[in-house]
Amino acid sequence: MVNRMLKVAIVGGTHGNELTGIYLVKQLEQFPERLVRPTLDCITLLANPRAIAANQRYIDRDLNRCFDAADLANATLQNYEEQRAKEIAAQLKPKTQKQVDVIVDLHSTTANMGLTIILSSRDPVNLRLAAYLSQCHADIRIYCGINCGQSNPMLRSLVTLGCTIEVGPVAQGVLDAQRLMQTAMLVQHILDYLDAVQQGNSLSLPSSLTLYQARSTVDYPRNAYGELRAAIHPDRQFQDYQPMYPGDPMFLDFMGESIVYAGETVVYPVFINEAAYYEKQIAMVLTEKQTIDLTAIGVKP
């Protein structure tokens, strides 16, 4: 007995210079049979057409920071991305038709984050999805943002189910064939998983899941004018998901002196030196490495 159809949106180009997701959506629109599953109704969306045409992250404002519920309801917010966010919210969550159940938002990062799945929430469906993907790809990383599952301004937060795929390192405005193929494969695995769940098929999953929970962000050291006083330390560059212990070097100032991590616990930095985050005053995001017991949410080992 098949459950009702699950509506899934595959979104690319939320950031106009992240070509992986843009070209994957274009491919899926060219070969729509790749989206066909018995229990899924899949749609595709290029979220920020003007930014894509300009090969820029955004035109007026970062679109992936425009989906806060209060901002969507604020009629005075009318710049390009603020309008696009309202249009996308209306398209994915129409009041009179079936709303999208799952959003998969495709991104890339200049940080060395490999294949990262950013969960939209810790809903058991998402955690089982993460476990399934971890089983398919040993090198995948599962990440939860600081506002995971709460109201936040990310596009993925429009619904509870789904994730962002964040692959890197990929330079802005560059198409990397390997990352494109890996993202395409992950999308196929996500659709397979959702379809299996909808069909009531039991999947064998691992009994636990390693997850990196974001706790805080760190800005670059800056002078009174906001200019950088130091760069990411060479020992830290590209070391995403590697442990950083108290006293480890984080930054190297322009006198050649190391600036060390002054926290008291081991953390696992990610988004290290992400190009788009200089304007957001984020040099890295500090995460806590967690082991989630999946048997507690009904997964039978």
Contact footprint for Zn ion (CB under 5 A)? 15, 18, 107
In the complex with Zn ion, which residue's Cβ is closer, 17 or 287? 17
Instruction: Give me the least distance between CB of 226 and Zn ion, in Å please.
Output: 23
In the complex with Zn ion, which residue's Cβ is closer, 33 or 279? 279
Q: Where are the beta strands (DSSP E) in 66-120?
A: 102-108, 114-119
Q: Where are the beta strands (DSSP E) in the chain?
A: 6-12, 40-46, 102-108, 114-119, 140-144, 161-168, 208-218, 230-232, 249-253, 258-260, 268-270, 284-293
Buried/exposed 249-285: b ≥16 CB within 10 Å, e otherwise: bbbbeeeeebeebebeeebbbbbbbbebbeeeebbbb
Q: Which residue number places its CB atom closest to Zn ion?
A: 107
Instruction: Give me the least distance between CB of 20 and Zn ion, in Å please.
Output: 9
Instruction: Give me the least distance between CB of 108 and Zn ion, in Å please.
Output: 7
In the complex with Zn ion, which residue's Cβ is closer, 26 or 229? 26
Instruction: Give me the least distance between CB of 172 and Zn ion, in Å please.
Output: 9
In the complex with Zn ion, which residue's Cβ is closer, 107 or 128? 107
Instruction: Give me the least distance between CB of 57 and Zn ion, in Å please.
Output: 7
Report how far residue 236's alpha carbon sits from residue 232's, in angstroms, rounded to the nearest whole number: 7
In the complex with Zn ion, which residue's Cβ is closer, 252 or 276? 276
